[in-house]
Amino acid sequence: MNAALLATVAEGAEHAAHTELPMEPIAFGLITFAIFMTMAFVTRSWKGISNRH
């Protein structure tokens, strides 16, 4: 009985560990790249503002 129970738990854990991603993995990288580029643009847009005053 213990072996059958252990096999069932192991099978359930194997299926529980596998989850599907909501989108393709490359999309995560592209979204992250776009966020960093936007932050870089905003940061660079403030360069030289202190020289105006």
Domain ranges within the chain, ordered by starting residue: 22-47
Has this prediction a pTM greater than 0.75? no
The pLDDT score that the predictor gives to residue 21 is: 82
Mean pLDDT score across all residues of the chain:
80
- 26-50 pLDDT, tens per residue? 999 999 999 999 999 999 988 777 6
Q: Please, what sign has the CA dihedral across residues 24, 30, 35, 36?
A: positive
Q: What's the confidence (pLDDT) of residue 13?
A: 54
The residue that leads in pLDDT, 38 or 1, is 38
Q: Residue 38's pLDDT is what?
A: 97
Output the 3-class SS for the chain. Answer: CHHHHHHHHHHHHHHHHCCCCCCCHHHHHHHHHHHHHHHHHHHHHCCCHHHHC
